[in-house]
Amino acid sequence: MLIKDFIIGFVIGISCTITTYPMRPPLSFLCFFYGWVSLSAIPAISQSQPSSREPTYKVLVYEDGVPINPERGASVLSKLVKLRVVLTDESLEKYPYLKPAVIVKNTYEYLIRNGRRIMIYPGGASLYFSLLNAQAGDQILIESADLRVETRDGMTRKLTRKMVCVLPIYEEK
């Protein structure tokens, strides 16, 4: 039975991927149309999981124009904190036709105090409004589900992984 589920899931996944790429077939459609298919038999591309064939990225954080370690965080006295998302060196080697910068859209900033979200800001490239209200011990969570890579020809493709960056705020001593 498991082999039958695997073969059915693999054929369904391949045929749906070929006909609907880059859109993913909904799991309910597969189960309704072809009967029960085990979840492990459906390829990862139709489970909305990050694909190993997708480039990876890193988030660079700049405090007042100087690069900082995002794990350490930003000072409460900072005037401007900017984020920059770029492809990793491994991805640039694997995908030489891509530009190194990642396009980030629809960003949200959450100001977190004592483990609770207290403010939500529609974000941009800088964390100006979050920093105005931040205190030492707070955290700023930056989230975006709309990341795109651009080829050297100008075509863009959306990435499946979303960006989440937590930036602690500390008091300068």
Q: What does the pLDDT look like over 122-140, one tens digit per residue?
A: 876 567 778 888 999 999 9
Six-digit token string for 23: 């859109």
Residue 16 three-state SS? helix
Residue predicted with more confidence, 99 or 13? 99
- Under 8 Å between Cβ of 36 and 65: no
User: Is pLDDT larger for residue 48 or for residue 91?
Assistant: 91
Determine the average pLDDT of the residues in 15-42.
37
6, 36 Cβ separation under 8 angstroms: no
Query: Per residue in 65-101, pLDDT tens?
Result: 999 999 999 999 988 889 999 999 999 999 999 999 9
